[in-house]
Amino acid sequence: MADDNDFGIGATRAGHYGAAESTGVTLAETNFAAAWNVQGSARSPDVASAARALFGLSLPAVPNTTSRDGALTALWIGPASWLIVATDASALADFEAKRDALDAAGGALFDVSAGRVGWTIGGPEAATVLAKGCPLDFHARVFGAGMCAQSVFGRVNALFYRHGVLPAHSTDPSLQRSPQFTMLVARSFARDAWRFLCVSAAQYGYDVLHPQPF
Amino acid sequence: MQRCRLPAGGVVDRSQPLPFEFDGASYEGYAGDTLASALLANGVHLVARSFKYHRPRGILCAGVDEPNALVQLGRGARTEPNVRATTQELYAGLWASSQNRWPSLSFDIGAINDAMSRLIPAGFYYKTFMWPPTPRWWLRYEHLIRRVAGMGVAASLPDPDCYEHQYAHCDVLVIGAGPAGLAAARAAAQAGARVILCDENSTLGGRLYGGAATIDGGGASAWLEATTRELVAHADVTLLARTAAFGCYDGSLVGLIEHVAEHARGATAARSSGSAAQLAPVSTWMPRERLWKVRARSVVLATGAHERGIAYANNDLPGTMLAGALRTYIERYAVRPGTRAVVFTNNDHAYATAFALQGAGIEVAAIVDPRGGAALDGALPLAARDSLLPILARSVVTGAHGRLHVTAVDVAPLVGGTVSRIECDLVALSGGWNPAVHLFSQARGRLRYDEALASFLPDQCPVPMTVVGAANGSTDLAEALSEGHAAGLAAARAAGFAATASLRVPEAAPGASGAPLALWSTPPAAKGAKRFVDWQNDVTVDDVALAAREGYSSVEHLKRYTTLGMGTDQGKISNVVGLALLAGELERPIASVGTTTFRPPYTPVTLGAFPGHDAGPHVEPSRFSSIHDWHVAHGARFVNAGFWKRPHSYPRTGESPDDAALREARNVRTNVGIVDVSTLGKIELQGGDVAEFLNRVYINRWDTLQVGRCRYGVMLRDDGIVLDDGTTSRLAPSHYLLTTTTANAARVMQYLESLLQTEWPELDVYASAVTEQWSAAAVAGPRARDVLAKIVDIDVSNAAFPFLAVASCHVRTATGPVQARVFRMSYSGELAYEIHVPADKGRAMWNAAIAAGAGVGIMAYGTEAMSTLRIEKGHIVVGAEADGRTTADDLGLGGLASRAKSCIGSRLSERPALKSSDRWQLVGLVTVGNEPMPRAAKIVADPDRAAPNPMLGHVTSWCRSPNLDAWIALALLENGRARHGQTLWAVSPLANVRVQVQVGRPCFIDPKGERLRG
């Protein structure tokens, strides 16, 4: 068992790590200003319209899909349960008023902004690296752009999302073509998941980039 | 100098010589060699001693089926026993030694077993060593037997390498990249399916290498190259060489083991030592092996076939090789393993070996074939006759001669006649082919015995799996290609990919072949001569006969009794011969005897590959609070609490962890302490019916809880036993926060969700686990208010913020104000507050509290001090006091129960046995004379009473109380509340310790609660 700190694998500062001759993967911490859990039930259709009025966003009805509008992305994370992620704090403000509005509509709103840590994983080997810890099928035909799913990464529960838009940071054409995923894990497990990510990516060579918005 | 290497041909790279060492001697091979081919190229045949009789053994096979050539590979932490020389790729600096011999391979003392073999027949240890009939003797014998009948030695140092897992999904998984597998992969890929093609060899192609076959009008190797190129070009095709499929599991899950870095490791060594070997650069970052878990919609098995032997006397002498393997060594590895060969075969395939021998300049002394007449009219025997090769039809080999190497064989007519001796140094042996149906059988496929081919073939399979090529009994190249092609297309179609019309079946000339003759053994030339069925386990024809005579008539019993088919090769060349011989002894058809069960793994898999990255300190995940780094920086000793790493205590230089905990606990009672309680389970509930829901799950009443207040609650199981405890706060009219114990967080969340989804779906209640959202610290002690007042923006005076108050506020941190929730609750019994902040601000809040408390003696305390404080206060812990047998009343919490409503468990807690006066109830104990409290003691009235001494109860938690300067404990004691004031004994028979204890209330400090309300 190689030590985590061998050759800097597991370090979080920006730079190139692992195999020197290639960059198969890019890793960047995912920044988001807020993440709220909206819950409703099939019995209260008001929740969907209340959410649309409150957030200006339609909650996806199909399991494991997402909707995105500007700074907000809504991810389906369970029957009548969504995670709304904001890249901009102003997009999710005034929690208590919105909680009360959803409550009045028969739903609920929970602030879980600090509960998860995320990384955006790109590069030609991004799906391969995720598949070292996760039994999901990340092939584009199965897990397309804008889809999300919950599973495990290593031994840790994780939420995966495949971006539809290419990352702004990459100028390398091979990275432009490569898929881009965001993986969210519970904050207390983040060290384990990050280590697993780095150890798995080292063989392809990876760049740790500066944090990116969700 | 590789004296047995052919000057040209083969796929070895003569420009890349690789030095290696075997049994202390230095040799050289070429890139592309296996250890076996490199040894043969150096004229080394004797590579091992057998398991039981220590007979000299050579290389028999050219792949995973090898029973003999097992070596100890590498030294130190990386040493590996029982490595098959026939599958081990050669690398520069490879180091191997033979096993199971002393003092040397050519002179092995253990060979005395061979002479004494009449004393140790099959199953001898069951018979001989069962006497005298006490098991202790067997333990002694076993020790000796294990030493004598050994294999290699396992590494005793930790494995320095790393392994990883790879999940993969595909439409078509093709196992085996010979002609059939390649044709299948090519067809499926062209149709657009996602394909994974794996092969255990270092290169794709199977037997296409070096042969004279033609495909699509060109050389087979040209077709192989073109096909490989084509496959590589497909984005959705994954080609995996050096990757063996070892198991088929439910749901079309197939386990593959890929040897990623081993073959290249030596190249790194060679580069750094300045050797001439210049191989492709090797990444330091590669795992040694990669375990693939492949979910495939369809599986195409193109696993080929294993040749089997024929049992004749001394058929194990070095120089004896299976005919197909011999041809591989000549054609693929360009090795000339002898000068004069005898071919002994019951089928046409070995005739190709005869031509290969001839082509390599090896004299073919005779082709001995039990068949005659029309059976010898196949294309190959006819060609052999045309080439004037000496064919001895209707003849068999009955024995071989030689000491460490074969020097001659005895040949006799199949029926009667005189024995003649033929000098030779090489025997090419073929008893027919066993299709490699292992994975098919693991997938619950049924086998059928084919009389014409004299082998077991795949029949029906309940999962989408197709068997093609030699694995399906189709050994002809043209047949293999068309079967593979068809299976590839069908598998792609099943996944929804229609084939394009332009794709043609690869064509090869069909070869006519004569029927084989089932022949398993030949009559012994001399009495007692050993005719081996299973080379690895030294099982002979006579052993099988003995087992049958002794009543082991099931093939599974035969395996256990004789060890036939056990070991690293799992009888790949021997099983069918063994069961056919058994069938002969029992005079039953082979089909009715059947095969032993095929189980994973098909080929040995390194254990380290199964845990993968989950090894060493990462054997389970770890959870860290966001304040963890502060704890590390301040010398915390950590303790596992579930997956969490929690500070046990913060020992100072020269201080023991226990002393540190005493200091920390004392400081809480005198000044102020701070403890990281981020690990507590936190669940938020929202909705109009939360109070009703809480009423139903807790024994106490919740509809009276005001906004801005919290309350302690106890939850019962259905049967009235305590499940969990914690506090619930009302944050807003329909927004509550419930805390659980650290260990029960996930269980309680699941429980509540299950209740909401299945029992009371009509309730307007939503739950969200927010443990991860909030970092929390408890500030406790007489000076706690001083600390709070400095960092929060609300009035925390007793009047404005009394005991059990809750408020939202802000904490002033170095990086600005942070949104927070403050709770006035106490676990220690002191004036105490819990501060919750979003987890990404946990460290900032902690730093602010530490800074604010600097002037009033704040100290961080760990779980040990926390435990001491709660024992002093008499607070229970789920797991220790609430141990799955106690009711709320047992724990002194019965008063919490509301009579105005019922809750889960309330009905069953009314059962008489749960209300009986002899229940074990929670009490406090203090040792008499300040004696240390024994660990996990039981409580008795009279320690001197003879066993069984009635147990009145047991200690559940104990500690040295720094504030009382006494040893105290919480205990569950029969009718305990009526025993206050009694003196009893706490005894630990294990430690042989007894102390007198005084029974009292389970509260040692501030029984009136003035401190926490002050």
| Encoded tokens for B526 | 């001399």
- In chain B, residues with a C-beta closer than 8 Å to the C-beta of A7 are 284
Cα–Cα separations (whole angstroms), residue B916 to B255, B913, B976: 57, 5, 12
Q: Is residue A205 part of a domain?
A: yes
Q: Dihedral angle at the C-alpha atoms of B184, B186, B187, B190, nearest 10 degrees?
A: 150
Q: Is residue A3 part of a domain?
A: no
Q: A86: domain CATH number?
A: 3.30.70.1520
- How close does chain A come to B539, measured CA to CA in Å? 40
pLDDT in tens, B871-920: 999 999 999 999 999 999 999 999 999 989 999 999 999 999 999 989 99
Nearest neighbour of A131 by CB, restricted to B167, B678, B772: B167
Tokens 């595909």 sit on residue: B170
pLDDT value, residue B209: 72
State whether B840 and A187 contact (CB < 8 Å): yes
On whether both A122 and A27 belong to a single domain, the answer is: yes
pLDDT value, residue B150: 63
Tokens 């779980």 sit on residue: B863
- How close does chain B come to A32, measured CA to CA in Å? 12
* Confidence class for position A41, pLDDT limits 50, 70, 90: confident
| Encoded tokens for B167 | 């999940």
Domain count, chain A: 2
Tokens 């040749």 sit on residue: B307
**Domain boundary, last residue among A83, A111, A139:** A111
Mutating which of B768, B819, B843, B845 best tests the A interface, going by the most A Cβ atoms within 10 A? Answer: B768
| Encoded tokens for B15 | 């420009």
**Domain boundary, last residue among A111, A140, A167:** A111
pLDDT value, residue B146: 67
Nearest neighbour of B164 by CB, restricted to A39, A110, A200: A200
CB atoms < 10 A from the CB of B81, how many?
A: 17
On whether both A26 and A126 belong to a single domain, the answer is: yes
3-state secondary structure of A46: helix
On whether both A124 and A161 belong to a single domain, the answer is: yes
On whether both A99 and A162 belong to a single domain, the answer is: no
Give the integer Cα–Cα distance in Å for B203 and B32. Answer: 9
The interface predicted TM-score (ipTM) is: 0.94
Q: Is residue A139 part of a domain?
A: yes
Give contacts of B 285-304 with A, CB under 8 A: 285-287, 293, 295
pLDDT value, residue B277: 32
On whether both A153 and A206 belong to a single domain, the answer is: yes
On whether both A120 and A161 belong to a single domain, the answer is: yes
Instruction: Please give, one letter per residue, the 3-state secondary structure of B916-968.
Output: CCCCEEEEEEEEHHHCCCCCCCEEECCCCCCCCCCCCEEEEEEEEECCCCEEE
- In chain B, residues with a C-beta closer than 8 Å to the C-beta of A204 are 285
On whether both A209 and A137 belong to a single domain, the answer is: yes
Nearest neighbour of B687 by CB, restricted to A7, A108, A200: A108
On whether both A49 and A154 belong to a single domain, the answer is: no
CB-CB contact of B244 with B602 (8 Å): yes
- How close does chain B come to A68, measured CA to CA in Å? 23
* Confidence class for position A72, pLDDT limits 50, 70, 90: very high
pLDDT value, residue B117: 80
Length of chain B: 1014
**Nearest residue of B to residue A96 by CA position?**
B732
Is residue A1 pLDDT above 50, yes or no? Answer: no
pLDDT value, residue B278: 31
Give the integer Cα–Cα distance in Å for B407 and B424. Answer: 5
* Confidence class for position A6, pLDDT limits 50, 70, 90: low
- In chain B, residues with a C-beta closer than 8 Å to the C-beta of A192 are 618, 621-622
pLDDT value, residue A167: 46
Sign of CA dihedral A125, A130, A134, A135: negative
Q: Is residue A186 part of a domain?
A: yes
The half-sphere exposure of B959 on its side-chain side, counting CA atoms within 13 A, is: 23
* Confidence class for position A200, pLDDT limits 50, 70, 90: very high
- Residue A95: which domain range? 34-111
CB-CB contact of B406 with B319 (8 Å): yes
Residue spans of chain B under pLDDT 70: 125-136, 138, 145-150, 210-211, 265-283, 501
| Encoded tokens for B858 | 């704040």
| Encoded tokens for B576 | 């069918």
Give the integer Cα–Cα distance in Å for B261 and B266. Answer: 9
On whether both A155 and A198 belong to a single domain, the answer is: yes
CB-CB contact of B341 with B363 (8 Å): yes
Q: Is residue A5 part of a domain?
A: no
Sheet holding B858-860, edge to edge: B806-813, B816-823, B832-838, B774-780, B672-676, B858-860
Give the integer Cα–Cα distance in Å for B91 and B78. Answer: 15
Q: Does A115 touch chain B (CB under 8 A)?
A: yes
Directed axis angle between helix B842-852 and helix B784-791, to 10°?
A: 120
**Beta strand pairing call for A66-69 and A156-162:** unpaired
Q: A192: domain CATH number?
A: 3.30.1360.120
Q: Does A139 touch chain B (CB under 8 A)?
A: yes
| Encoded tokens for B695 | 């009423």
pLDDT in tens, B81-137: 999 999 999 999 999 999 888 788 888 887 888 877 877 777 776 666 666 666 667
State pTM to two decimals. Answer: 0.92
Give the integer Cα–Cα distance in Å for A97 and A103. Answer: 10
Q: Does A123 touch chain B (CB under 8 A)?
A: no
pLDDT in tens, A85-139: 999 888 889 999 999 999 999 999 999 999 999 999 999 999 999 999 999 999 9
- How close does chain A come to B579, measured CA to CA in Å? 41
For B738, residues 6+ apart whose C-beta sits below 8 A from its C-beta are B682, B683, B684, B685, B694, B726, B727, B728, B729
pLDDT value, residue A177: 61
pLDDT value, residue B581: 96
Q: What is the mean pLDDT of chain B?
A: 92
What's the DSSP call for residue B606?
A: -
On whether both A46 and A63 belong to a single domain, the answer is: yes
pLDDT value, residue B643: 94
Give the integer Cα–Cα distance in Å for B618 and B525. Answer: 61
Give contacts of A 146-205 with B, CB under 8 A: 154-156, 186-192, 195-196, 199-200, 202-205
- Please name each of the domains of chain B with its CATH number: 1-125+144-155 (3.10.20.440), 164-304+436-494 (3.50.50.60), 338-431 (3.50.50.60), 538-593 (no CATH), 628-678+773-869 (3.30.1360.120), 681-769 (3.30.70.1400), 916-1014 (2.40.30.110)
| Encoded tokens for B758 | 């299945």
From B292, B291, B297, select the one nearest B252 (Cα to Cα): B297
Q: Quote the strand ranges of B541-671, DSSP E.
A: 637-641, 644-649
**Nearest residue of A to residue B838 by CA position?**
A114
On whether both A38 and A63 belong to a single domain, the answer is: yes
For A207, residues 6+ apart whose C-beta sits below 8 A from its C-beta are A14, A15, A16, A17, A23, A25, A26, A27, A123
- What DSSP string runs through B794-811? S--STTTS-TTBEEEEEE
| Encoded tokens for B471 | 């694995």
pLDDT in tens, A155-183: 999 999 999 855 444 455 554 567 899 99
Q: What is the mean pLDDT of chain A?
A: 89
Q: Is residue A4 part of a domain?
A: no
**Domain boundary, last residue among A111, A137, A156:** A111
3-state secondary structure of B847: helix
State whether B774 and A114 contact (CB < 8 Å): yes
Nearest neighbour of B621 by CB, restricted to A19, A107, A155: A155
Q: Is residue A2 part of a domain?
A: no
On whether both A78 and A160 belong to a single domain, the answer is: no
Give the integer Cα–Cα distance in Å for B816 and B809. Answer: 13
